[in-house]
Amino acid sequence: MLVAPSILSADFGKLNDEITAICDAGCDLVHVDVMDGHFVPNLTIGPVVVSSVAKVATKPLDVHLMVQNNTFFVELFAPLKPEYITFHIEEEKHPHRLIQKIKSYGIKAGIVLNPHTPPESIEFLLGDLDMVLLMSVNPGFGGQSFIPTVIEKARRLKAMIAEKGAATLIEVDGGVTDQNINLLKEAGVDIVVAGSYVFKQDYKTAIDSLR
């Protein structure tokens, strides 16, 4: 299991130290939550802060856009060369076009599904996607409770990916702890995002427990 700590739960007063600490603790990706106050009722960070994160991170960035006007935000973040940019299908009329745009920068592309969105909605995009991110909370805030229906969704998505012969990874985001990690692994999840679970304890202990 790959582990991507969400820096939403970090102490932003010492963000550089926090990024160094999670990278030293052995995380696989640094998950960056970008919220615009429109798609979700919260506002986080833009390219100025994320460029500072990118400078100190020794692990690749995983940028999760929770925004309206995805194309505008992809253009803002592409110069920072994250490993992944993921965007919400619920907010995109032309997902196929946007996937190609993300890939044109040499960045891996992923789509995010809110808790209500069925995996069948992206069936014909799977061959183009490097990752599908399944939300196991409503996007907008850290520290919420895990919504267990994501387990069945991950299983169905895993079967769809196998049927298409695609190499798409499955990531799950929200409420991930040592209490649900085994169910996620059994369902075929490849990467977990964890915010409050990692930042509320010793980072290495937390990351090792999920892995």
Residues that bind Zn ion (CB under 5 A): 33, 64, 173
| Active-site option among 28, 36, 130, 173 | 173
33 is catalytic: yes
Q: What span, in angstroms and rounded, lies between the C-alpha atoms of 59 and 26?
A: 9
DSSP code for 174: S
Cβ proximity to Zn ion, 84 vs 203, nearer residue: 84
In the bound state with ligand DX5, the residue whose beta carbon lies nearer, of 122 and 198, is: 198
Query: Is there binding between residue 137 and ligand DX5 (CB under 6 A)?
Result: yes
Contacts of 100 (CB under 8 A, 6+ apart): 128
- CB within 8 Å of 12: residues ≥ 6 apart: none
Q: In angstroms, what is the minimal distance from the CB of 126 to Zn ion? A: 21
How far is Cα 36 from Cα 41, in angstroms, rounded to an integer?
8
Residues 116, 50, 75: CA angle, nearest 5 degrees = 70
**Strand 169-173 relative to strand 108-113, pairing:** unpaired
Residue 107 is a binding residue for ligand DX5 (CB under 6 A): no
Count of residues that interact with ligand DX5, criterion CB under 6 A: 21
Question: Contact letters (x/-) for ligand DX5, 27-46, by CB under 6 A?
Answer: ----x-x-------------
Contact region with ligand DX5 (CB under 6 A), list: 67-75, 181-189, 191-199, 201-209: 191-199
Residue 22 contacts which entry, Zn ion, ligand DX5, none (Cβ below 5-8 A, type-dependent): none
Partner whose footprint covers residue 5, from ligand DX5, Zn ion, none (CB < 5 to 8 Å by kind): none
Stated length of the chain: 211
Q: What DSSP state is assigned to residue 145?
A: P
Residues 6+ apart with CB under 8 A from 190: 1, 2, 169, 170, 171
Part of the chain binding ligand DX5 (CB under 6 A), chosen from 10-18, 21-29, 80-88, 188-196: 188-196
Per-residue tokens: 166: 């695609």
Of residues 52 through 71, those in contact with ligand DX5 by CB under 6 A are 64
Please confirm, yes or no, whether 173 is among the known catalytic residues.
Answer: yes
Q: Could you give the residue numbers annotated as active site?
A: 33, 173
